[in-house]
Amino acid sequence: MTRTKMSTDYIVSSLKTLFGTNVTAADIKGWCAANGANYQTVTNKIEEFKVSRGRWNLEVTQQKVEEIERSFNHVAVLPEVHQNLIPEKDDTFVKFGNFNDIKKIIQSRIFYPAFITGLSGNGKTLSVEQSCSQLKRELIRVNITVETDEDDLIGGFRLVNGETAWHNGPVIEALERGAILLLDEIDLASNKILCLQSVLEGKGVFLKKIGRFVKPAAGFNVIATANTKGKGSEDGRFIGTNVLNEAFLERFPVTFEQSYPAPVTEQRILEGVALDLGVEDREFCKRLVDWGDVIRKTFYDGGIEEIISTRRLVHIIRAYSIFQDKAKAIQVCVNRFDDETKQAFLELYDKIDVDFVMPSETPELTIEYGRLDKNLPF
C-alpha cells in the first residue's frame, strides 16, 4: 500500500464509502484488516474526527464544529434567562411508597435511570418532584405524547428575528445542567423516543445538525413514569399507551411499582391538604379514605372497572373548600365517570357517611311529538 493511499483523505473517503459518515472502532478494525493497515496509525490520522470513545464522525472536524458554533452563536428562541429549576416544596407532601428509594438514587448523583410504574394519581411524579425539592436538585419534566419526536426532546432550528438559530431541547438542557430529566407518561411514546438510547446509557448525545457532542454533566439522571410497564394496556384501561422497544426498556436498570398509599397515610395526605385550604374536618377526610379503600379493593377483585385515586380524593377536598358542600364536592368530582359507575360510587359513600345526603338529579326535559314528559316537576 503506497503512502498516498494511506493519507488521511484516502482513509476518510474509503471509510465513508463503506460505512457512511458515522463509524465505530469495530468498523475501523475491519477496514484495517481488509487493507493491511495498523489500527493505531489509522485512528491517529482521523483523530480530528473523533466525537467520543470508539466513535468518529467523518463529516465534521473539531475545527468545523467551532466554526459552526460561532456562526449559529446558539441563539435561543427566547432571550437567555437564568432559571431556578429546583421544584418548590409542597408543605402538604407526605412521603410514602418508593419515595425514599427514588431520593437515594437522586442523592447518590450516580447515573442510574429508574422507571416508575403504577395506576394514575398515586404520586409517581410528585415523589420525584419532592425528592428534587428536598435535595435542591434541578428537575426538567417532559410530558411525553405519541407525537413527541427528536426535535421536541433534543432540539432543533428555530426562526429567531428572521434568522435560523439552534435551540436546545429539554434533554440537552438537562444534560448540560446535570439536572434530573423526568420523562412523564413515557408509555405514550412512539418509537421516535429511541433517539434517547445513548442518553440512557449515560454517554450523552451527538447533535448531528450542528456537529456538536454533548456530554452529561455530573449528577445528570433520567427517571421515567408510566401507568404500564411499557407493554401496552391489555385491559384497555390506558388507551393510547404503546408497547415500548425492549432495548429501550432494558436501559432502565430498576423498575419501581408504585401503589396507592395505605389508608393511614392517605388520611394524613388529605388532612394536610384540608388544613392548607383552611378546612378542618378530619372525619370527612377519614370517610373519604374509607370510601376510596373499599372502591379499590372491589376494583382489584374485578368487581368494577373504575377506581378512585388519591389525586381524586384531593380534588374532592379542594372542591369542598370552594363550594362548602360535601355532597356537591363529591358529585362534581365523580361526574367524570359514566352514569352507572358514578351512581354506584355515590351510593357507596352514602352507606359510609350516615350524614350524607345524596345529591338530587335534575330531571331532563324530554319532548316527544309535542308532548311534555309527565314526570317533570311543573
Residue type, 18: L
Question: What pLDDT is stored for residue 214 in this prediction?
Answer: 95
pLDDT of residue 70: 54
For the beta carbon of residue 312, count every other beta carbon within 10 angstroms: 18
Residue bearing cell 404520586: 123
Domain spanning 99-257: which CATH class is it, in words? alpha beta
| Spatial CB neighbours of 141, under 8 Å, sequence gap ≥ 6 | 125, 129, 182, 184
b or e along 78-107 (b: 16 or more beta carbons within 10 Å of the residue's beta carbon)? eeeeeeeebbeeeeebbbbbbbeebbebbe
Amino acid at 55: R
What is the pTM for the complete model shown? 0.74
367: its cell numbers: 319532548
The CA distance from 152 to 159, in Å, is 15
Q: What is the 3-state secondary structure (H, E, C) of the chain?
A: CCCCCCCHHHHHHHHHHHHCCEEEHHHHHHHHHHHCCCHHHHHHHCHHHEEECCEEECCCCHHHHHHHHHHHCCCCCCCCCCCCCCCCCCCCCCCCCCHHHHHHHHHHCCCCCEEEECCCCCCHHHHHHHHHHHHCCCEEEEECCCCCCHHHHCEEEEEECCEEEEEECHHHHHHHHCCEEEEECHHHCCHHHHHHHHHHCCCCEEECCCCEEECCCCCCEEEEEECCCCECCCCCCCCCCCECCHHHHHCCCEEEECCCCCHHHHHHHHHHHHHHCCCCCHHHHHHHHHHHHHHHHHHHCCCCCCCCCHHHHHHHHHHHHHHCCHHHHHHHHHCCCCHHHHHHHHHHHHHHCCCCCCCCCCCCCCEECCEECCCCCC
Please state the φ and ψ torsions of residue 313, each to the nearest 5 degrees.
-65, -40
Determine the Cα–Cα distance for residues 320 and 324; give it in Å rounded to an integer: 5
With beta carbons less than 8 A apart as the criterion, state whether 25 and 54 touch.
yes
Provide the residue-wise pLDDT of the chain in tens; the chain has 378 residues.
Answer: 444 457 888 898 888 888 888 889 999 999 999 888 999 999 988 888 888 888 888 876 656 555 555 554 444 444 455 688 999 999 999 999 999 999 999 999 999 999 999 999 999 999 999 999 999 999 999 999 999 999 999 999 988 888 888 999 999 999 999 999 999 999 999 999 999 999 999 998 999 888 899 999 999 999 999 999 998 876 667 777 889 999 999 999 999 999 999 999 999 999 999 999 999 999 999 999 999 999 999 999 989 999 999 999 999 999 999 999 999 999 999 999 999 999 999 999 999 998 888 776 544 444 343 443 444 443
